[in-house]
A = this chain, B = another copy of it.
Amino acid sequence: MHFKTLTVVATAGAFIVASAAFAGGHLTEDQQRAVDARQSHMGLYGFNLGPLGAMAQDKIPYDAEVAAAAAANLAALANMSHDAYWVEGTDGSGDGIRAKAEIWTDMDGFKAEDMKLAAATTALAAVAGDGLDAMRAAFGPVGQSCGSCHEAYRAPRS
């Protein structure tokens, strides 16, 4: 999980014509790609959190294999490099974007939240297959990490 400067991010995205704007949209193509990618990434968090949360809340039976796979997926996602997602000018000004400007004005705090999620999911992955109690205990900090980051850096649904 490394955050690079936005200069580097801009370079990475330069293979797309940066000045091309989507018809009717406010974002350039490379901005839209970054937004799509981070929303896909968040969707995959949700997809893998689903069965773990349902098990933790006794809504479905605990399954060690399913729990271990979902937790390993979460840890893999959280430990990926997220640098290229946070292109300048892609905070929420409509278009279904909920990223707050604070991501860019407080990048250190945002990085710290991201590292917290990486640590919590890595800890969860280590025990998710070891029984419901172990999984549930390690699942709590993951949910707390989601919540604290969203509280600080994601706007409410408009």
Contacts and interface: CB of A to CB of B under 8 A. Distances in A.
Interface of A: 2, 4, 8, 11-16, 33-34, 36-37, 39-41, 43-44, 47, 50-51, 53-54, 59-61, 63, 65-66, 69-70, 72-73, 76-77, 79-81, 83-84
B65 A72 contact: no
A77 B40 CA distance: 12
Given A15-B59, A70-B84, 4 more contacts: A15-B51, A34-B47, A37-B44, A73-B80
A63 B2 contact: no
Nearest to A50: B15
A69 B12 CA distance: 11
Given A15-B60, A59-B15, A69 B33 contact: no
A103 to B, nearest CB: 18
Residue of A33, A40, A41 contacting most chain B CB atoms (<10 Å): A40
Nearest to A85: B47
Contacts of A2: 65, 69
